[in-house]
């Protein structure tokens, strides 16, 4: 009985394009063609069937080997993936510890900064308090503190009645007289 390529492909459980390529490569001629369907006689059909059964038979033993090989490769990939995950977990833990240490350092620095600000404010408060006490006991020092710029520019009168310039180096002029 004559068979078509789709029938052969179904019987072999392979793609019909493989059969068409084999037929073209081996230059196998159909017995007849009816409505663009090629029919092959029993000898051609048996040749096609035996070729693909031999290939599938040899691949069948290789399939077991390839299954074992693919299982080994798959296991290697799984081990690789697991090692990568464990390494990344270690890195994440290390980074987490670093973040915690940095946060503690920041907290300590913030606490020290707050303490420093409190000390500065207390120093300013004490300084102002001392200035108020000093001005109560020495009222003339308040004008000296606030009006020092006029002392260096003003002219002073010598005890002898001479006008002389005051200033930073006025004592040098006194020593010459």
How do residues 139-157 score in pLDDT, each as one tens digit?
Answer: 665 455 444 444 444 444 4
Instruction: With cut-offs at 50, 70 and 90, classify the pLDDT of residue 64.
Output: low
- Give the pLDDT of residue 77: 78
Average pLDDT over residues 18-43: 89
Bridge partners of residue 32, in order along the sequence: 39
Q: Where do we find the tokens 């180096």?
A: 169
Residues in the chain: 177
| Burial of residue 28, with CB atoms counted within 10 A of its CB: 0-12 exposed, 13-18 middle, 19 or more buried | middle
Average pLDDT over residues 114-140: 85
Other Cβ atoms less than 10 A from the Cβ of 113: the count is: 10
- Give the pLDDT of residue 168: 67
Mean pLDDT computed over every residue of the chain: 78
- Give the pLDDT of residue 101: 96
- Give the pLDDT of residue 74: 76
Instruction: With cut-offs at 50, 70 and 90, classify the pLDDT of residue 123.
Output: very high
Q: Flag whether pLDDT at 105 surpasses 50.
A: yes
C-alpha gyration radius of the chain: 54
Q: Flag whether pLDDT at 56 surpasses 90.
A: no
Query: Residues 10, 17: contact at Cβ < 8 Å?
Result: no
């Amino acid at each position: 009985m004559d068979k078509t390529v789709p029938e052969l492909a179904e019987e072999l459980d392979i793609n019909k394009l493989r059969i068409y390529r084999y037929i073209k490569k081996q230059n196998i001629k159909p017995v007849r063609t009816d409505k663009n369907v090629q029919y092959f006689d029993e000898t051609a059909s048996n040749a096609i069937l035996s070729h693909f059964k031999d290939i599938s038979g040899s691949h069948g033993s290789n399939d077991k080997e390839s299954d074992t090989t693919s299982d080994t490769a798959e296991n290697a990939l799984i081990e690789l993936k697991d090692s990568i995950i464990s390494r990344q977990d270690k890195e994440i833990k290390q980074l987490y510890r670093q973040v915690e240490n940095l946060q503690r350092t920041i907290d300590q620095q913030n606490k020290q900064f707050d303490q420093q600000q409190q000390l500065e404010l207390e120093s300013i408060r004490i300084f102002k308090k001392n200035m108020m006490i000093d001005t109560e006991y020495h009222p003339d020092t308040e004008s000296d503190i606030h009006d020092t710029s006029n002392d260096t520019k003003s002219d002073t009168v010598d005890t002898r009645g001479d006008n002389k310039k005051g200033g930073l180096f006025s004592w040098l002029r006194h020593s010459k007289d």
